[in-house]
Amino acid sequence: MLSPYRALDLTDEKGLLCGKILADLGADVIQVEKPEGNPARSIPPFFEDIAGPERSLLWFAFSTGKRSITLNWESEAGKDLFKRLAKTADFIIESFPPGYLERKGLGYEVLTKTNPRLILASITPFGQTGPFKDYKAGDLVASAMGGMVCCTGEPDRAPVRISADLAYCQAGVHAAIGLLIALSHRTATGQGQRVDVSMQASIVRTLHTQLPYWEYGNRIVKRSGIRRFRGGVSTREIWPCKDGFVSWMFFGGAVGTQQMRGMVEWMEGKGMAGSLSAEVQNWATLDLTKVDPEKIKSWEKVIGDFFLSHTKEELYQEALEKRIPLAPLNDMSEVVNDEQLAARDFWVGVDHAELKTNLRYPGFLFLTSEENCLPKVRRRAPFVGEHNSEIYLDDLGLSEAELNSLRRESIV
Amino acid sequence: MYSSLTGTCPAPPERDRWESLPAGRQEGARCERSFLCSHSVRHCVPGKPIRHTQGREFRRARDRTAPPCLPHPNGVGGELQMEKTALEGIKVVDFSWAFAGPFIGAYLGDYGAQVIKVESHSRLDITRVTAPYKDGITGVNRSGCFLVVNNSKYGITLNLRHRRASEIIGKLIAWADVVVENFGAGVMERLGLGYEELRRIKPEMIMLSATIQGQTGPRSTFAGYGWNTVALTGIGNLTGWPDRSPVGTLQAYPDSVVPWFGVVAVLSALEYRRRTGRGQYIDVSQYETTCQFLAPLLLDYAAHHRVAMRAGNRCPYAAPHGVYRCRGEDRWCAISVFTETEWEAFCRVLGSPAWARDERFASLHGKKENEDELDRFVEQWTVNFTPEEVMSLMQQAGVPAGVVKTNKELFEDPQLTDQGFFHRVEHPEIGPCYQQAWPIKLSISPLNIRPAPCLGEHNEYVYTQVLGLSDQEFVEYLDQGVFE
């Protein structure tokens, strides 16, 4: 869908996903790396646990479909080359600290002198302006400052994050959105612009109910373990079963009626509904906010015992039949082997001939009726400078001699 | 404003651009100077007559030269706005509800698209009937949950099951560029609103369906919520302490992920349609889009059959990396030390204590091996300071650290405030309130946030002004309950 467009990707782990999305959508994405390679290449896990620039699974995952060139933009010749490249680009994506490119003489003002159509997305922990703009953050700090950590975890221990660097990915998707909005603007006006992406704000935007709870309810929402305070009432969401955990919540009222009826009938069928059948006559009129929390807990005990006597697969299968919103807490092996994802041909085998392996990657971003638009992994992530020749010689029109001289001077 | 309206291409710089493109990219490059011109750049010369100046294309052009967006019946937006919004002229009909779908229209609407949200009195959007409500008073226009996810939309009510609803739907679809929905798989078809039907009215329609598990496959009928996808994707299991039950996340995290990919999909599809004239049907799943974020862990399983697990706040490639108790009641600060330079700075902030020179903490490997003890040392120091003090001392020394902010503290956060993240708007029923901006700031394209609509707030405006019903027709439909 974006085949006419070219992006230069200067990001490290904080922004790699943006370029990967553009590449999946068909854009020509060139990762511009210093000769020593992108810092994200040193992030584990590594293939077969052997560290090395061509073995990081994080790099594999978020740089698929891109090409790579090396370029030392600290040198004058390197800067000139970068400017020539920028002239051919529609997008630049970077995740340096604010002001870095300006200090290197490669700021937006400089680059747009020769290419006013250029759109530059900058991904940083806190954005390009404001009192915290120079603060540093990884996933954990951004998640804490964005309010997500506060409401995750158990009351008797420290609040926690999700054990994966998701804040980086969020910033990457929003950067892609920003570039596309700016592209739309450019289409109408011919003018490029800057897109300033904040990881902290991307976390805040995931707090759908927490923000209104303060604004409208004066309620500070804190970590509550496996219980959730939603719709004005605290109920349990994560339940142990025979062989793991399932997620399920009960709520009454119009929204919950159908699933609660199904659930109670199911339990009755197994003779395990206990007091539930007798104590709730009409789920549609049940307002949980008016029910004694101890009563809710007693119902949860009955339901919890029912779950404990079943496996998560049994519960999931039956829930699908009965249209009950219940799902197993999968681990990565169960995701990889999931029947639904397999049925949709989600996984893509990507050849890593050099490692003598073929790895299964998450596939399309979405399905589409336009066959040639399918956004999917196109090839493995590039080696450091793998495409130097084709880009410097074919695209920029350098001669072999020029390229060799740049190589000798360690610019490429 | 656009000379293209006279029927000639206004694009002198385009030829230069084309010539500067590498050979492989010349083919297919389209004129970008004019939204009207569908020429290949190769053939794009000033003064050349434009092919599509009739019919629909012409009408679209005329719309583009109209005021930047539909004048808002409350007198906000449109006519007051001077700057050109990025997505003006893009028309979206939004049938979605709850959280995951509506964010798409809100994002597009804030950047200038005209988004009409279609609701009904008989099947209220779940977020309209979810606490918290303004002043604790229940009411369909008073839920903060609805407000947070439906900014900058026009709200209409339409009973999709009414026998005359199809007449209105036909007009809506003819008006729209994009249709967004997130009902269960198959519901739109049963309502007569499947993609094939929509295409009969508007061949270049872009339609997006967002579901938990997609439109096809054995689990496509799964009737669940975003918090179920937390479980399915493995995020549930990845959150909590290794020695205890997983706790999952409070927020239905994938409810955020799917709409962001949805916005990417819609904008890319619009771009593709601009070049080719072709629409498409997009099937986007919470499960699959969230898997994109987890790709390194999924590859780790694919390569090594290793199953990533929840690790509290630890990170395989950094230490210390945790949330540490600080002075005050349940107050915490996150600190993460990734590099040797950061470790040295961290030690200096702590006054270079003797334990920090311990051989066991000399390497990352050593720190990871002895992390429990390391964390105890760190917390012995942090408890003497407020989280703000810890953050400030660490950040001044170049160490990543941040206060564990509560929802309340976010509204007072100096950084978010400085960036104008919380927009004050005036809601017709509940008065002044906040609508959040997005994690992106564009240097030119203005953000134009209007409050989420009341139920059916823009019925008269949309039905008569936008869809062109006469007053008499409007009243007739109204009387017959079509707008229920």
Specify the CATH number for the domain of residue A313: 3.30.1540
Three-class secondary structure of residue B73 per DSSP: coil
CATH 3.30.1540.10 spans which residues of chain B? 321-412
Mean pLDDT of chain A: 95
What's the confidence (pLDDT) of residue B73? 40
**Which structure tokens are listed for B38?**
């569908």
Ranking A130-134, B77-81, B225-229, B413-417 by mean pLDDT, the lowest is B77-81
Shared-domain flag, residues A128 and A29? yes
> What are the residues whose beta carbons fall under 8 Å from the beta carbon of B427, sequence distance 6 or more?
B141, B147, B433, B451, B452
Average pLDDT (A259-285) is 88
Average pLDDT (B223-234) is 93
Looking at CA atoms only, how far is residue B121 from chain A in angstroms?
A: 13
Residue B22: pLDDT over 80: no
Shared-domain flag, residues A146 and A246? no
Separation CA A379–CA A405 (nearest Å): 30
Shared-domain flag, residues A190 and A247? no
Mutate to test the interface with B, among A3, A87, A211, A228 (most CBs of B within 10 A): A211
Separation CA B414–CA B428 (nearest Å): 29
Q: Do B111 and A188 touch (CB under 8 A)?
A: no
Separation CA B334–CA B159 (nearest Å): 50
Give contacts of B244 with chain A, Cβ < 8 Å: 154
Q: Do B132 and A219 touch (CB under 8 A)?
A: yes
What's the confidence (pLDDT) of residue A101? 97
* Of the partner residues B284, B400, B407, the one whose CB lies closest to the CB of residue A213: B407
Residue B426: C-alpha distances to residues A8, A366, B79, B431, B450 (Å)? 41, 37, 17, 5, 8
- pLDDT 10s digits, B260-308: 999 999 999 999 999 999 999 999 999 999 999 999 999 999 999 999 9
Q: Do B232 and A335 touch (CB under 8 A)?
A: yes
- pLDDT 10s digits, A35-76: 999 999 999 999 999 999 999 999 999 999 999 999 999 999
- Of B110, B125, B177, B255, which one is the catalytic site residue? B255
* Of the partner residues B130, B131, B440, the one whose CB lies closest to the CB of residue A177: B440
Separation CA B374–CA B300 (nearest Å): 28
Q: List, as ranges, residues 188-247 from A with C-beta within 8 Å of B.
A: 188-191, 193-202, 204-217, 219-226, 228, 230-232, 237-238, 240, 245-247
Give contacts of A145 with chain B, Cβ < 8 Å: 334, 402-403, 405, 413, 415
Tell me which residue of B296, B390, B309 sits closest to B350, measured CA to CA. Answer: B390
Tell me which residue of A331, A305, A141, A165 sits closest to B246, measured CA to CA. Answer: A331
What's the confidence (pLDDT) of residue A277? 85
What is the ipTM, given to two decimal places? 0.97
Residue A219: pLDDT over 70: yes
Q: Do B231 and A176 touch (CB under 8 A)?
A: no
Examine residue A231 and state whether it is found in any structural domain, yes or no: no
Q: Do B239 and A370 touch (CB under 8 A)?
A: no
Q: Are A252 and A245 within 8 A, CB to CB?
A: no
Residue B14: pLDDT over 80: no
Q: Do A289 and B314 touch (CB under 8 A)?
A: no
What's the confidence (pLDDT) of residue A169? 98
Residue B48: pLDDT over 80: no
Looking at CA atoms only, how far is residue B413 from chain A in angstroms?
A: 9
Give contacts of A368 with chain B, Cβ < 8 Å: 265, 269, 280-283
Tell me which residue of B294, B69, B448 sits closest to A165, measured CA to CA. Answer: B294
Residue B370 main-chain phi, psi, to 5 deg: -120, 40
**Which structure tokens are listed for A37?**
């390679």
What's the confidence (pLDDT) of residue B25? 54
Looking at CA atoms only, how far is residue A188 from chain B in angstroms?
A: 6
* Of the partner residues B32, B289, B317, the one whose CB lies closest to the CB of residue A43: B317
Share of chain A above pLDDT 70, in %: 99
Determine whether B255 is an active site residue: yes
**Which structure tokens are listed for A82?**
């970068």
A110 close to B (CB below 8 A): no
Mutate to test the interface with A, among B138, B152, B208, B264 (most CBs of A within 10 A): B264
Shared-domain flag, residues A102 and A245? no
Separation CA B318–CA B374 (nearest Å): 12
> What are the residues whose beta carbons fall under 8 Å from the beta carbon of A399, sequence distance 6 or more?
A393
Tell me which residue of A164, A50, A162, A343 sits closest to B304, measured CA to CA. Answer: A50
Residue B320: asked if its preceding bond is cis (omega within 30°), the reply is: yes
Buried b (16+ CB within 10 A) or exposed e, B122-146: eebbbbbbbbbbbeeeeebbbbbbb
Separation CA A206–CA A148 (nearest Å): 8
What's the confidence (pLDDT) of residue A233? 81
Examine residue A1 and state whether it is found in any structural domain, yes or no: no
Shared-domain flag, residues A107 and A187? yes
What's the confidence (pLDDT) of residue B78? 40
The identity of residue B155, as a single letter, is G
* Of the partner residues B217, B248, B445, the one whose CB lies closest to the CB of residue A237: B248
Largest CA distance in chain A: 87
**Which structure tokens are listed for B440?**
């992106």
Looking at CA atoms only, how far is residue B462 from chain A in angstroms?
A: 25
Helix %, strand %, coil % of chain B (to 5): 40, 15, 45
Examine residue A230 and state whether it is found in any structural domain, yes or no: no
Q: How many CB pairs under 8 A join A and B?
A: 563
Q: How confident is the model at residue B82 (pLDDT cuts 50, 70, 90)?
A: low
Q: Are A11 and A18 within 8 A, CB to CB?
A: yes
Average pLDDT (B454-468) is 95
Give contacts of A304 with chain B, Cβ < 8 Å: none
Looking at CA atoms only, how far is residue A245 from chain B in angstroms?
A: 8
Q: Do A131 and B415 touch (CB under 8 A)?
A: yes
A255 close to B (CB below 8 A): yes
**Nearest residue in chain B measured CA to CA from A222:** B406
Three-class secondary structure of residue B76 per DSSP: coil
Domain boundary among A301, A329, A357: A329
Q: Are A123 and A15 within 8 A, CB to CB?
A: yes
Separation CA A403–CA A411 (nearest Å): 9
Residue B229: pLDDT over 80: yes
* Of the partner residues A140, A255, A346, the one whose CB lies closest to the CB of residue B321: A140
The CATH number for A46's domain is 3.40.50.10540
The identity of residue B31, as a single letter, is C
Tell me which residue of A382, A368, A376, A344 sits closest to A25, measured CA to CA. Answer: A376
Looking at CA atoms only, how far is residue A409 from chain B in angstroms?
A: 26
Residue B132: asked if its preceding bond is cis (omega within 30°), the reply is: yes
- The half-sphere exposure of B381 on its side-chain side, counting CA atoms within 13 A, is 25
Shared-domain flag, residues A403 and A291? no
The identity of residue A130, as a single letter, is G
Q: How confident is the model at residue A285 (pLDDT cuts 50, 70, 90)?
A: confident
Looking at CA atoms only, how far is residue B225 from chain A in angstroms?
A: 7
Shared-domain flag, residues A115 and A178? yes
| Bridge partner list, B245 | none
Three-class secondary structure of residue A204 per DSSP: helix
What's the confidence (pLDDT) of residue B21? 58
Total count of domains within chain A: 2
Q: Are B246 and B320 within 8 A, CB to CB?
A: no
Residue A297's domain comprises: 236-329
pTM: 0.90
What's the confidence (pLDDT) of residue B290? 98
Residue B42: pLDDT over 50: no
Greatest mean pLDDT range, A130-139, A226-235, A296-305: A130-139
Ranking A44-48, A114-118, B221-225, B226-230 by mean pLDDT, the lowest is B221-225
Average pLDDT (B17-21) is 56
Examine residue A402 and state whether it is found in any structural domain, yes or no: yes
Mean pLDDT of chain B: 86
Looking at CA atoms only, how far is residue A138 from chain B in angstroms?
A: 7
Helix %, strand %, coil % of chain A (to 5): 45, 15, 40
What's the confidence (pLDDT) of residue B102? 97
CATH 3.40.50.10540 spans which residues of chain B? 78-292+449-479
* Of the partner residues A6, A177, A226, the one whose CB lies closest to the CB of residue B263: A177
Shared-domain flag, residues A292 and A351? no
Separation CA B34–CA B4 (nearest Å): 7
Shared-domain flag, residues A347 and A325? no
Q: List, as ranges, residues 304-363 from A with C-beta within 8 Å of B.
A: 320, 323-336, 338-341, 343-344, 346, 357, 359-363
Separation CA B78–CA B98 (nearest Å): 27
* Of the partner residues B107, B249, B295, the one whose CB lies closest to the CB of residue A62: B295
| Bridge partner list, A359 | A350
**Nearest residue in chain B measured CA to CA from A153:** B240
Shared-domain flag, residues A89 and A36? yes
Residue B62: pLDDT over 90: no
Average pLDDT (A157-161) is 98
Checking DSSP bridges between strand B332-336 and strand B321-325, what pairing results, if any? antiparallel
Tell me which residue of A187, A186, A190, A188 sits closest to B64, measured CA to CA. Answer: A188
**Alpha-carbon torsion (A165, A171, A175, A176), positive or negative:** positive
Separation CA B162–CA B478 (nearest Å): 12
Shared-domain flag, residues A306 and A249? yes
Average pLDDT (A155-175) is 97
Q: Do A193 and B445 touch (CB under 8 A)?
A: yes
Mutate to test the interface with B, among A141, A324, A334, A361 (most CBs of B within 10 A): A141
Q: Are B159 and B484 within 8 A, CB to CB?
A: yes
Q: How confident is the model at residue A257 (pLDDT cuts 50, 70, 90)?
A: confident
CATH topology of domain B321-412: formyl-coa transferase, domain 3 (3.30.1540)
Average pLDDT (B200-216) is 97
Any alpha helices (H) in B332-470, and if so which ranges?
Answer: 340-349, 364-369, 371-382, 387-396, 407-412, 414-418, 459-460
**Alpha-carbon torsion (B442, A179, B102, B84), positive or negative:** positive
| Bridge partner list, B336 | B321
Residue B17: pLDDT over 70: no
Examine residue A217 and state whether it is found in any structural domain, yes or no: no
Examine residue A119 and state whether it is found in any structural domain, yes or no: yes
A184 close to B (CB below 8 A): yes
- pLDDT 10s digits, B164-185: 999 999 999 999 999 999 999 9
Give contacts of B299 with chain A, Cβ < 8 Å: 45, 57, 60-61, 359-361
Q: Do B313 and A6 touch (CB under 8 A)?
A: no
Looking at CA atoms only, how far is residue B60 from chain A in angstroms?
A: 13
Mutate to test the interface with A, among B111, B282, B299, B403 (most CBs of A within 10 A): B299
Separation CA B431–CA B364 (nearest Å): 54
Examine residue A115 and state whether it is found in any structural domain, yes or no: yes
Mutate to test the interface with B, among A129, A143, A185 (most CBs of B within 10 A): A185
- For domain B78-292+449-479, say whether CATH 3.20.20.190 is its number: no
DSSP letters along B439-454, please?
SEEESSSPP---PPPP
- pLDDT 10s digits, B108-144: 999 999 999 999 998 899 899 888 899 989 999 999 9
* Of the partner residues A136, A149, A333, the one whose CB lies closest to the CB of residue B404: A149
Rg of chain A (C-alpha set): 26
**Alpha-carbon torsion (B440, B441, B442, B448), positive or negative:** positive
